[in-house]
Structure 1
Amino acid sequence: MATDVQVPALGESITEGTLAQWLKKPGEAVKADEPIASLETDKVSVEVPSPVAGVLTEQVVKEGDNVAVGAVIARIDEGGTAAAAPATEQAAAAAATNPPGAGETPALKADSTAPAAEVEEDHVTTLSPAVRRAVLEYHVDPTKIRGTGKDGRLTKDDVIAAAEAQKASTPAKAGAQEAQPSAQSGAAPPSEPGPRPAPGDRKEERVKMSRLRQTIAKRLKDAQNTAAMLTTFNDVDMSAVIEARSRYKDLFEKKHGIRLGFMAFFVKACALAARDVPSVNASLEGDEIVYRDYFDVSIAVSAPKGLVVPVVRNAEAMSFAEIEKTIAGYGKKAKEGTLTIDEMTGGTFTISNGGVFGSLLSTPIINPPQSAVLGMHRIEERPVVRDGQIVARPMMYLALSYDHRLVDGREAVTFLVRVKEAIEDPTRLLIDL
């Protein structure tokens, strides 16, 4: 009996996705709840599981097609039998040029190819969607890569590193193979170099935008077109926070199992400032203003396919350790492409740290329907005046972009000053000042 595989619900307000990759081929056996395809939505990648155990008999849509929620994308035969595994490209080429009995015995051929195919199949089925795509894109053998993820699992960074190493070793091997015949024959190397590309040769490559990148582009342009966006700036002396980290970082990591970073200080400082300036944590819905007594902060994270903003919920009630662990977990998921839709929806305020990439100053764009976003930047020693003396201090520029329809200039400046005061005197975070 054939069973239809339908696109599952993809989250609130998401009605369709793009079929990014088939994980199973027609004729292959599948288990119940085993992923058979990977979908890209506006926010995350989602695996489509098989509803039953059986054999994949038909792929209704192609990779790259847009599919609506509830649409049939494949059919599974519950009583079917899996077809024999297809030969690899290498085996097929060998069979074409060397028929059985021509220089190699069938027994030797079976011993040398079958185990490798079995290991590769077992290994590939454990890869995440992001890693599978990277393996196909960079044409590497995942069975020959040592994973650095949890329990030795491969990450996308492992695949990219292996591809770069493979690319670097290829020219060296090619050069050695070309030089070897000349050495054996005693022939002198050619006096004239081979043909070179003509000067000025240039290449172009056209790559279709991913669904995530299209969504990022649309939302950011909508923010510019809709919000009355304005940015206010300030700078903050990071001396007190740096001193606190240096003094307690070892004890903190020993007790909580996570490093103490700057982000937790800024999350707590923004949550505290939002109490004094609630409009920064509010949003517009029609002709109404929605104020909130909770602080769900979106943390901008750079992922392989673009910027994502997972949400740290109820940050005002979380400890430093809870904030750092949550952010670290989101960073790992972003690299692996395993963030869920629920983890990236519902934020009320955003913090973006361009300083990790070396940014000195920027004007961050609001993440609708939020009304404000804080931009952090790199820390560098600059001359400042303290007690009438010019001294060097580790300074950071802060930028608050806000929707002027909802947040007045006075409120935006007040919010940023409250953040500055809390960072320059972290004791305020403990005594709620």
Structure 2
Amino acid sequence: MPKLAMAMNEGTVSEWLVKHGEKVEEGQPLAAIETEKVAYDVEAPTSGYLCILLEVGEAVPCDQLIAYFCESAEEVVEMAAAARLEDNSGTETATADSVTTTPTVAGTEMSVSVALDRTTGQRIIASPLAKKIARDNNLDLLLVDGTGPSGRIVKRDIVAALERGLQHSSASNAMTIGGNRELARIPITGIRKTIGERMVKSLHTAAQLSSGWESDITDMLAARQKFVARAEQLGTKVSVNAFIIKAIVYAIHQVPMANACEEGSDIVVYENINMGIAISMPGATDYDSGLMVAVLRNVEHMGLVEIDQKMKALINRVRNGEGSADDMSGSTITLSSTAGIAPPGMTTTPILNLPNAALVGPSTPIEKPVVHNGEIVARTMMPVSFTFDHRLMDGAPAARFMAALHEALENPELMLA
């Protein structure tokens, strides 16, 4: 299993692009590998006949053997037989609940999983990947019609069933202790497990402190409208987040300590600014949604239009499952916006994205009466949160950063500095 990114600990083969026993050439696409965040197509490092050892849908640690390259088709058969003997050398026995066929030579399916429903005893034929996706989404395979060979349930059948919302139909009638009816049962696996582990690690590791305030963004919104009016000419409808990123860049130039990460026993303060952007990953329902942090690199060299264009392209890549390892690692500070989602005027206390020392969390603006130039007038006020790691950053520089960010948000001309 190749290690495709520094943060990658394990991977899953979501699809073998070459059949077991088939001849492959060096550089030929070999397998689709999925991590907690992204998917990659891995190329064959050499030429030969492929002997597959890992089933689709099975997660294994990085550097674990998943396939051999053999010199002949006959050697593939010998290697597969040896692998089966090694697997069966212990005391494991087959169960009535799940039986999986062994790999065969090119021209046949790599694996087929046959399950028995515990209640009805009905045979269910499904690919390992289909079973994994169904299990992760609490989907009863009896509710799914297979479109594969001999009625086999494959990935596309599970995806179609999930889009129809079938995964919760059986859970809605389930009874639990105390007489409560379950609406859904969500396995803490995959991306949900990763999110939970990283949130807990962040809270248990960093000395986190969150502060909040309101910035008057009336002038910033007026400046944005000038860009919006020229959206066709500029090639993008410049977003509020692009302005916020420019304001963060201005504040970092005043207080570089906010653009830092913990690295071993050192605090590394960076000259370049790689903006981590928290991206919600919408699912069919809230039950299968997620959260990822993608990275927009070297934003200190970009203007508003370039930031907006590259940020939107980055978000689209990540949501479409096309993000690269570079897209998902290397942030030096994080932007996590709940604007448009949270109630107007609500201040949040976001959790740090380790190893970053700081995170900026703007929320939904609100129109309210304020004193402006000696008069009470209606202005647009945006709640802003700032979470920082007190191990890496003292209170004084943190306060100066917040003041500089507030100043830039209220005076958008400073973003040109």
What TM-score, normalized to structure 1?
A: 0.66
**SS of alignment partner, residue 275 of structure 1:** helix
Distance in 2 (alpha carbons) for counterparts of 1:256 and 1:350: 26
Matched, 1:295 2:273: yes
Tell me the residue number matched to 2:403.
Answer: 417
Structure-2 change in CA distance of 1:16 and 1:383 (3 Å): same
Structure-2 change in CA distance of 1:136 and 1:319 (3 Å): farther
- Alignment gaps of 5+ in structure 2: 75-104, 111-146, 149-153, 167-172, 283-288
Matched, 1:83 2:107: yes
Contact 1:297 1:315 in 2 (8 A): yes
Matched, 1:8 2:2: yes
Distance in 1 (alpha carbons) for counterparts of 2:62 and 2:228: 49
Moved more, 362-371 or 413-422: 413-422
Structure-2 change in CA distance of 1:209 and 1:45 (3 Å): farther
Structure-2 change in CA distance of 1:254 and 1:77 (3 Å): farther
Superposition deviation, residue 82 in structure 1: 5.1
Per-residue CA deviation, residues 62-87 of structure 1 (Å, 9 max, x unaligned), is 5233243252247688769853799x
Tell me the residue number matched to 2:32.
Answer: 38
**SS of alignment partner, residue 55 of structure 2:** coil
The correspondence for 2:359, drawn from 368, 373, 391, is 373
Structure-2 change in CA distance of 1:220 and 1:379 (3 Å): same
Per-residue CA deviation, residues 305-359 of structure 1 (Å, 9 max, x unaligned), is 6221111111111111111111101111121111111112111100011113235
Distance in 2 (alpha carbons) for counterparts of 1:376 and 1:34: 45
Contact 2:12 2:59 in 1 (8 A): yes
Q: Percent identity?
A: 31
Distance in 1 (alpha carbons) for counterparts of 2:251 and 2:401: 6
Tell me the residue number matched to 2:192.
Answer: 213
Structure-2 change in CA distance of 1:31 and 1:407 (3 Å): same
Per-residue CA deviation, residues 123-165 of structure 1 (Å, 9 max, x unaligned), is xxxxxxxxx96x343336xxxxxxxxxxxxxxxxxx94xx47x
The correspondence for 1:19, drawn from 13, 20, 39, is 13
**SS of alignment partner, residue 367 of structure 2:** strand
Contact 1:212 1:306 in 2 (8 A): yes
**SS of alignment partner, residue 38 of structure 1:** strand
Superposed CA RMSD in Å reads 3.5
The correspondence for 1:248, drawn from 223, 227, 230, is 227
Distance in 2 (alpha carbons) for counterparts of 1:337 and 1:226: 30
Per-residue CA deviation, residues 167-190 of structure 1 (Å, 9 max, x unaligned), is 8xxxxxxxxxxxxxxxxxxxxxxx
| AA at the equivalent of 1:288 | D
Contact 1:56 1:77 in 2 (8 A): no
Distance in 1 (alpha carbons) for counterparts of 2:46 and 2:265: 48
Matched, 1:335 2:356: no
Moved more, 358-367 or 37-46: 37-46
Tell me the residue number matched to 2:123.
Answer: none
Distance in 1 (alpha carbons) for counterparts of 2:371 and 2:68: 69
Per-residue CA deviation, residues 251-282 of structure 1 (Å, 9 max, x unaligned), is 2x233311111111111111111121121112
1:60-209 equivalent positions in 2, closer than 5 A: 60-69=54-63, 71-73=65-67, 83=107, 135-139=156-160, 160=163, 163=164, 202-203=181-182, 206-209=185-188
Contact 1:60 1:74 in 2 (8 A): no
- Quick check: which one's helix share is greater? 1
Matched, 1:237 2:216: yes
Distance in 2 (alpha carbons) for counterparts of 1:9 and 1:282: 26
Matched, 1:312 2:312: no
Moved more, 325-334 or 405-414: 405-414
Tell me the residue number matched to 2:237.
Answer: 259
| AA at the equivalent of 1:68 | C
The correspondence for 1:323, drawn from 284, 290, 307, is 307
Distance in 2 (alpha carbons) for counterparts of 1:25 and 1:258: 44
**SS of alignment partner, residue 203 of structure 1:** coil
Distance in 2 (alpha carbons) for counterparts of 1:74 and 1:355: 50
Tell me the residue number matched to 1:357.
Answer: 341
Superposition deviation, residue 53 in structure 1: 8.3
**SS of alignment partner, residue 204 of structure 2:** helix
Aligned length: 331
Superposition deviation, residue 283 in structure 1: 2.6
Tell me the residue number matched to 1:93.
Answer: none
Distance in 1 (alpha carbons) for counterparts of 2:72 and 2:249: 53
Distance in 1 (alpha carbons) for counterparts of 2:238 and 2:393: 32
Structure-2 change in CA distance of 1:218 and 1:201 (3 Å): closer
